[in-house]
Amino acid sequence: MKKLLTLATIALAVVFAASIISPSTVAEEAAEMAAGELDGKALFTDTHKCNMCHAVPVAEIAAKTKNEKMKGADLGGKVEGELAEIAAYVRKEADIDGKTHKKPFKGTDEELQAIIDWLGSLEAQE
């Protein structure tokens, strides 16, 4: 009888938990997160590690490379150019003033836009 009661209690707990965290709820939460805003700073520093070469002085982010040849331009403030132009440059599909980006950006257009938006927002913080 005790085993049956224990099994019934476990079954109720599982049913209750499943009703709270159902696959559809998890999927809905994932979709909401995907539809939400991407964190440009986290994409810049953690995901794509742009700070290996680029500094963002206004955000107190230093370039990690010590090799002067590998350092890219300091970024932050107004980002000039259309997304398509910037995307082509950082993906090494186009050059600017005869120079190409040293490492190809492998993220999505949405991630790149989030980084650009974040960098552009820094101008207002100066």
pTM of the model: 0.65
In order of 6, 38, 70, 87, 108, the CA distances from 56 in angstroms are 59, 19, 15, 19, 21
φ, ψ of residue 96 to 5 degrees: the values are -125, 120
Domains of the chain by residue range: 1-36, 38-125
Q: pLDDT per position in the chain (126 positions), as tens?
A: 555 445 445 544 444 444 444 444 444 444 444 546 899 999 999 999 999 999 999 999 999 999 998 999 899 876 777 778 888 999 999 998 898 999 999 999 999 999 989 998 887 555
| Class of CATH domain 38-125 | mainly alpha
